[in-house]
Amino acid sequence: MRRLVTLLACAATPVVAQAPLPFDIGGSFSLVDQRGDTRTEDSFGGPSLLFFGYAQCQSICTVALPRMAEAVDLLAERGVEVQPVLVTVDPVRDTPASLRDHAPDIHPRLVALTGSEDALAGARKAFRVESEVIGEDIEGPLYAHGSFVYLLDAEGEVLTLLPPVLGADRMAEIAMGYLEAKP
Amino acid sequence: MRQMMVGVVALSALMAFPAMAAEGKRVSVKGELIDTWCYFSGVMGRPDAVVGSAHHTCAMWCAAGGIPIGLLGEDGEVYMVLKLPGDDASNGGETFLTMTNDTVEAEGMVYERDGLTYLVVSEVTSNDGIPNRTHEDFGVVPGNVIPDAVVDKVLEEG
């Protein structure tokens, strides 16, 4: 228990040290949202929180997406508008029409992106996100996929990554630190 | 838009916090590769019940589902593992799945970001498997993660 208390205390500290990571994360993509419009990494009109997952996911998405959505709301309460974005790893089921139904359940302002297999693979490669089918249930394939939430600035450049184990308040706090530091 | 190195982006943040900058440093850490979701959330029980053999099945499910793994060092520090040798992804991958709950000694680089400690493993220099036999104290955690029929069969077979 002492370990956990120590770690949580550490996690509650303000944004302090920023070390560079030894690999590239982020890049350009061109995908299609739930309304059928083409969206790129810099077309959200401001910063965004971006997550790779799928609408039918009963695993990590059920944890990470609500946290990301709550973080967006917490930031909005502090006067910072951040666009929540889902990039699907399941384009067969996550068509624009299907995402149009599912997106509001996650967040009323969610932009849910899909596209061709190649376009989505390119986005995953840019963000170093792995995705693979690990089984099937009666509703279709089950995917394992990377689960970090990425904070992007208005130009689509990655500012940092957020583990899904963080609470929404901590996600919002970290994001706020970066966004307040932007000119 | 051009691809951007996080390092370059971090430099901007670093400039915003000039007195608080930190670079990566090379380390050798020994500890257990844990399921960070169950360890931090507490949803499956106390921290010492969601490590080791008691939690291995659940941890494999979590790793398969994309939950990041951590290295719980002997010093009590949890290092969020960003990368293991053999996996191209920044989190996840088959190596994560196959090494869950193993006690390993790893060499790599540690990076402090956002109040978290990230570890990029360059080499796993030793792997003791799962010596942390927590099932002897806690059984299987959570109890329903292994179907009863499987448990019965294993018990029958001794």
B6 and A160: CB-CB below 8 Å? yes
A87 is written with which tokens?
Answer: 């990039």
| Inside any domain, residue B143 | yes
B118 and A21: CB-CB below 8 Å? yes
Q: Where are the alpha helices (DSSP H) in chain A?
A: 2-11, 61-77, 96-106, 117-126, 168-181
| Inside any domain, residue B84 | yes
Q: Which residue has the tokens 């067969």?
A: A92
Residue of B nearest to A1 (CA): B47
Nearest to A16 among B20, B67, B76 (CB): B20
Residue A1 pLDDT > 60, yes or no? Answer: no
Q: Measured between alpha carbons, how far is B107 from B99 in angstroms, rounded to an integer?
A: 15
In chain B, residues with a C-beta closer than 8 Å to the C-beta of A136 are none
Q: How far is B17 from chain A (nearest CA, A)?
A: 7
- What pLDDT shows up at residue B152? 72
A160 and chain B in contact, CB less than 8 A: yes
B114 and A155: CB-CB below 8 Å? no
| Inside any domain, residue B11 | no
Q: Measured between alpha carbons, how far is B29 from B24 in angstroms, rounded to an integer?
A: 14
To probe the interface with B, which of A18, A145, A159 has the most B CB atoms within 10 Å? Answer: A18
Residue B90 pLDDT > 70, yes or no? Answer: no
Question: What interhelical angle do A168-181 and A61-77 show, nearest 10?
Answer: 50
Q: Average model confidence (pLDDT) for chain A? A: 88
Q: Where are the domains of chain A?
A: 50-181
> Please, are residues A53 and A144 in contact by the beta-carbon 8 Å criterion?
no
Between strands A140-145 and A131-137, the pairing is antiparallel
Q: How far is B40 from chain A (nearest CA, A)?
A: 7
B111 and A145: CB-CB below 8 Å? no
- In which band, very low, low, confident or very high, does the pLDDT at B78 lie, cut at 50, 70 and 90? very high
Q: Measured between alpha carbons, how far is A127 from A31 in angstroms, rounded to an integer?
A: 14
B65 and A144: CB-CB below 8 Å? yes
Q: Which of A15-24, A30-39, B35-44 shows the highest mean pLDDT?
A: A30-39
Nearest to B4 among A7, A11, A26 (CB): A26
CATH class for the region spanning A50-181: alpha beta
What's the pLDDT tens digit per position in A31-55? 999 999 999 999 999 999 999 999 9
| Inside any domain, residue B78 | yes
| Inside any domain, residue B29 | yes
- In which band, very low, low, confident or very high, does the pLDDT at B89 lie, cut at 50, 70 and 90? low
B90 and A158: CB-CB below 8 Å? no
Q: Three-state SS for A132?
A: strand
A40 and B1: CB-CB below 8 Å? yes
| Inside any domain, residue B8 | no
* Mean pLDDT of the region B64-81: 90
Give the least confident one: A10-14, A99-103, B20-24: A10-14
* Range(s) of the domain holding residue B68: 24-156
**ipTM beyond cut 0.90:** no
Counting the structural domains of chain B, the total is 1
What's the pLDDT tens digit per position in B102-157? 999 999 999 988 999 999 999 999 999 999 999 989 888 888 777 667 667 766 77
B5 and chain A in contact, CB less than 8 A: yes
* Residue B142, preceding peptide bond in cis (omega within 30° of 0): yes
